[in-house]
Structure 1
């Protein structure tokens, strides 16, 4: 037990820096064999996490409840910011990360501007309104208790975003579970003037098997987009742009296989053609999957 305390104390002292096993053994005056054994036990309990690329260690997600000095606001946030920087560079889009709170609120925790000419950054600490468009990653992999939290949050939010499992929503869930990411369109301030552009984009996407296949389903989706755009104006989110925007997001799972964090890239709708969406979605998904592994999360069986 004393050796374990020494290891955790060292990682806490050095946080957010990551240490390899040799340095941990030397500084804790332990043999390499003992150090590896203790680290494996701590890794199994999610008290430490290991970077798979260089096999270095830092405090793990199981210690979040012990305070911000551990993984909650240290290396976890550092990892997320690194992932956002990589996403912005690889996709040319703006990147954002969201934390799913215990009350099902989705809060922005980090942003990174892309190299493109238009910056669409949200303020850290702002929240998103409750809508299936936004909560789809949670809905797709939620337990019954998780769905109840979402429904309660929607009711607190004025019931603007019910999680009633309509045929259209069930189709969306099947699509997200099979692909591992989601996407959503926001209509922009000039919503009525943007309808034709959005309709055309959704129709092309549907013909490619991206999103809803039926015209009725796309009409319902368009109504959801318009309602979501209006709802954004009453939240702490930043300004709604005049033109339509596209967001593509993937989940980072906790130890129970539910969404803990979300990585998202966002751009003007006109900058991404429907046939280019799958490639971007896979990039975001791979970043999120890597963080799930590093943080000791569990991938749901549906994936």
Structure 2
């Protein structure tokens, strides 16, 4: 099981867990419920827990695809301070709202958009094979990245992106090129197929719709004086052929441009996340200095940060 974690000073320890049915049933009895098709003798209660095996990180793409087809679906679970607050049957969840059961009535989060999701939510990025690549905690304008589990594909990707800013932009750009791959393939294959296929000419009968002439009232025309601007003639060099082709097929360059924008945004969000984590670490260090005999808790850190803003108040642990 992969566990992505984030220690938040107000909301506590946030966890996003990804695993198979047998892994979740060991710590959360009763979920997930076995499907009727997997039950023994038609009884859902007698169905065994479905277990799977993740391929190693250095496994070739062929083995990863086989494991994806053979293994049961990877499910997601959200926990806050060890309490389950969200269960999702599939990994392909782009964004979920996050509710704190300690401060809100309904602790369970729901899928996709919701009126409260714009305030506090988790954004999960995964690939086509079900591997989680990144998890972000978003609350208003704040963006903080979760810590990936050691030895996971997400940890290796994050380490590669942190090694240089070029890779941090290059990975999302490759995602944009992947989205444009289908359009580029069509542009290459269609001309080849047009040359291979015979030139069939089909003469279809012409069909014209009847025309209905309705009386149209003639509106009065008002002629206003319009100033005439001098005509400037600017000699613009003609665009190259390849550039005209690219501009004509916007389904090719738009995903690439989107991938470049996502790369720049990823760099900005990563820097904001590192600054936020550094601020939280400073608050924890200040709380440790005020109470050296007691480990800091999320409540103590929150109260210490509020006391720093209000000099007249005293911090409590």
TM range (shorter): under 0.3
Q: TM-score, normalised by structure 1?
A: 0.24
Higher RCO (C-alpha under 8 Å, 6+ residues apart): 1
More helix by share: 1
**Which structure has the larger Rg?**
2
